[in-house]
């Protein structure tokens, strides 16, 4: 490798390292912001749970009339540089049960699912900002409930814990009844019990979907940070090898130049000595 090629390779790797560090910083900032929003959504969901249990206290509980096909929402990666993130999610989903509609979020995951022969009935890109996820949840629910009929809704997404992504599957609608709930007196309400339950259940569904989307958003960005950290270490190692090679080649060039100069000087001295011997 010539000096020019070696210098160009070192400069290219340094620029790549700058890009990797920038991507790591962006992913870290996005993950931190989304984590704070998860806490807010959890508090909102807990408020809804309390409102639903209190609003329906003392009233007979009726099972919702689920007339449409079950819906399975799967959150995969939107972009690359996340290792096997989407593959692990799709492996956890496994074969889609017959009669279930698959809703797939994340363009990268959609492409990987298509390569496996799994085609969703609906797919969408994951927003690049966590602040857009509540509105995005409205869009997803609009697609899930487009026919106006109630259906069972489940979600599969990743949660980042202890430095790795764990895939979680949970039911969003209908939610299982609360266990060991303290008996309460029925409150005064201005809405019929059925209408109140439907409104609160829809809000619960939206909160659960937003929470799943935020967890998936955090997990993807954490996975990207982990992948970029590994890439950064590899870049530093390769850069160290190339810089050592450049130092060695420079030292060899300097040594060769010194030898050439010394050889010329010795030849000059020998020539002058020969001339002096002839004159004497």
Listing DSSP states for 41-62 in one string gives: HHHHHHHHHHHHHHHTTTS---
The CATH class that applies to domain 13-178+185-230 reads alpha beta
Judged against a pLDDT cut of 70, whether residue 182 lies above it is answered with: no
Q: Which has the closest alpha carbon to 75: 219, 179, 225, 266?
A: 219
Judged against a pLDDT cut of 80, whether residue 270 lies above it is answered with: no
Q: Tokens 């450049």 sit at which residue?
A: 246
Round to whole Å and give the CA distance between 228 and 239: 16
Report the percent of the chain where pLDDT is more than 90.
45
Residue extents of the structural domains in the chain: 13-178+185-230
Q: Tell me: the pLDDT tens digits for 122-134?
A: 999 999 999 999 9
Round to whole Å and give the CA distance between 72 and 201: 18
Which pLDDT belongs to residue 185? 60
> Angle CA(164)–CA(106)–CA(135) in degrees, nearest 5?
105
Round to whole Å and give the CA distance between 79 and 73: 18
Helices then strands, each counted (H, E), the chain: 5, 5
Which pLDDT belongs to residue 180? 52
Q: Which has the closest alpha carbon to 105: 81, 131, 71, 150?
A: 71
Which pLDDT belongs to residue 158? 96
């Amino acid at each position: 490798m010539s000096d020019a090629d070696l210098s160009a390779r070192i400069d290219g790797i340094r620029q790549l390292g700058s890009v990797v560090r920038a991507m790591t910083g962006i992913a870290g900032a996005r993950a931190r912001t989304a984590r704070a929003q998860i806490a807010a959504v959890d508090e909102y969901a807990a408020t809804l749970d309390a409102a639903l249990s209190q609003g329906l206290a003392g009233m007979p509980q009726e099972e919702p009339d689920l007339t449409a096909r079950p819906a399975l929402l799967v959150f995969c990666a939107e972009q690359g540089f996340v290792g096997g993130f989407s593959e692990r999610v799709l492996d956890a989903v496994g074969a889609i049960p017959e009669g279930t509609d698959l809703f797939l979020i994340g363009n990268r995951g959609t492409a990987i699912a298509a390569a496996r022969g799994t085609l969703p009935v609906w797919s969408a890109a994951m927003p690049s900002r966590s602040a857009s996820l509540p509105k995005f949840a409205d869009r997803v629910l609009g697609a899930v409930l487009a026919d106006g009929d109630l259906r069972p809704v489940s979600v599969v997404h990743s949660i980042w814990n202890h430095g790795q992504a764990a895939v979680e599957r949970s039911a969003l609608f209908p939610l299982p009844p609360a266990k060991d709930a303290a008996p309460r007196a029925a409150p005064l309400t201005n809405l019929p019990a059925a209408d109140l339950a439907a409104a609160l259940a829809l809000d619960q569904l939206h909160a659960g979907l937003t929470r799943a989307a935020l967890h998936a958003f955090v997990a993807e960005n954490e996975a990207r940070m982990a992948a970029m950290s590994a890439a950064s270490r590899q870049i530093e190692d390769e850069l160290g090898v190339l810089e050592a090679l450049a130092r060695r080649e420079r030292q060899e060039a300097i040594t060769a130049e010194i030898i050439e100069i010394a050889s010329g000087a010795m030849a000059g001295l020998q020539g002058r000595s020969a001339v002096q011997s002839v004159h004497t």
